[in-house]
Amino acid sequence: MEIRRSLVAACTPDEIFSWVEDLARYPEWMRMVHGVTPDTSRGSDEAFAWNVELRAQVGPFSRSKRLRMVRTEHDVPNRVSFERSELDERSHSVWVLRATIDPAPEGQTGLTMELNYGGGLWSGGVLGRVLDDEVRRGSETLTQLVTDSPTR
């Protein structure tokens, strides 16, 4: 499953990039990111790893997923990527999240977010639509946050 969303916001690339380069900030604008904590279990060899809990509501039911994500690319303020990287020996579905700054008219910044998911739990059917809807809402919230930023 691949979800791709693009937005244009009245802000600088640095302003919007600060919201997407650190997974700890995602709960502020992405409702389905229920919790994020830095993962310090491996010490300094992976300084940018997080334990992430995703949660989605479908009617009276809730689904959650816990992932360990590592920042694999960090080109400030152009592109950042995160990939699932569990520490156990088991095989896990792929999760890749990428944010890329795009060209935009003067005084604005474009951002494209891509989520690639290789499992079956969140893809297709009702949960796939819920995931897509949560990403759309998160994009709208992020646009509002950077537009209303006190630094503007």
Q: How much is the average pLDDT of 1-6?
A: 88
Q: Output the pLDDT for position 92.
A: 92
| % of the chain exceeding 70 in pLDDT | 88
Rounded mean pLDDT of the chain? 88
Q: Output the pLDDT for position 57.
A: 79
* 44 three-state secondary structure: helix
Domain ranges of the chain: 2-147
Burial of 68: CB neighbours in 10 Å, binned 0-12, 13-18, 19+: buried
Q: How much is the average pLDDT of 52-70?
A: 87
pTM score: 0.88
* Residue type, position 41, single letter: S
Q: How much is the average pLDDT of 67-88?
A: 95
What distance in Å separates the CA atoms of residue 61 and residue 21, rounded to the nearest whole number? 31
* Residue type, position 80, single letter: V
Digit-coded pLDDT (tens) for 83-138: 999 988 899 999 999 999 999 999 999 999 998 888 766 555 666 777 788 888 99
What distance in Å separates the CA atoms of residue 12 and residue 40, rounded to the nearest whole number? 32
Fold of 2-147: Alpha-D-Glucose-1,6-Bisphosphate; Chain A, domain 4 (3.30.530)
Residue 2 pairs with which residues in a beta bridge? 116
Record the tokens describing residue 88, joined without a space. 């156990």
